[in-house]
Amino acid sequence: MSKISDAMDRSRREQERPAVGDEAVGGSVPVVFGARRVGLPTSDVEAYQALGSDVYLGLPEMSSRIVMLASAEQGAGVSTAAREFASTLALNGEVRTLLIDANLRKPVLHEAFGIQRTPGISDHILADAPLRDCLRDSGVPHLSLFPAGRPAVAPPRILADPRIDGMLSELRQAFELIVIDSAPLVPFAEGVQLSRKVDGVVLVVRSASTKNATAQRALALLEDAGAKVLGSVLNGRRFYIPRFIYDRL
């Protein structure tokens, strides 16, 4: 675990150097996960397989693991990263996987898989919808989806409800890996609340978009919450040099 902590420290120091304009995290700034660079183009299955290996190495030995993907602000591509990560691990690793759409403010995973939004998390907490009725077949082997549910006026209250703990405990009995798509951490409270209940958090930043100060603020919120930050990944990386050359750098 010290390697991951050291890598995160290096990542933070490097992010203090502006890359695009004067504040955005850009291609020249390596965002580190574990001991190496990780970029996540959505079509690159190998990148998600590598991320999956790093997540498993960063988490304690358990029969079931819960990892949350989150961003500092909206638009970093967390939902896409969570979907591709969960799908890749389920399909290629044959891991019993559950993908939870906990971004109750802007849920999109039900649309991505072409299923109904309800019943889901909000229905389970607010209306006692049975958990079994909220879980759907995603169409991807070994992958189930737990959608957000009906629109909610107070997402922080729902995800801070004591029944969330019992829900996650029950889901651990059925799945080896649980991947949570979270709302952005800086503008909204529920992602930080949820970070206390998971085994690890991966921070997603978007190349040339996420500001260093905003990313640092998100990391500080996670640390203050006592969350286990596994690392960070760079989404939307553009390769201005050939990919095979970049991989050798």
CATH number at residue 62: 3.40.50.300
Segment among 30-44, 73-87, 117-131 with least mean pLDDT:
30-44
Give the angle 10-11-17 at the CA atoms, nearest 5°.
100
Range from 108-117, 142-151, 233-242 carrying the lowest mean pLDDT: 233-242
pLDDT at 242: 43
Tell me the average pLDDT of the chain. 79
* Spatial CB neighbours of 45, under 8 Å, sequence gap ≥ 6: 88, 92
| pLDDT on residue 235 | 75
In the chain, the number of structural domains is 1
Whether 44 has a pLDDT exceeding 80, the answer reads no
Query: Is pLDDT at 115 greater than 80 in this prediction?
Result: yes
Average pLDDT for 151-169: 94
232 three-state secondary structure: strand
Name which residue leads in pLDDT, 241 or 64: 64
User: 117 lies in which domain range?
Assistant: 2-246
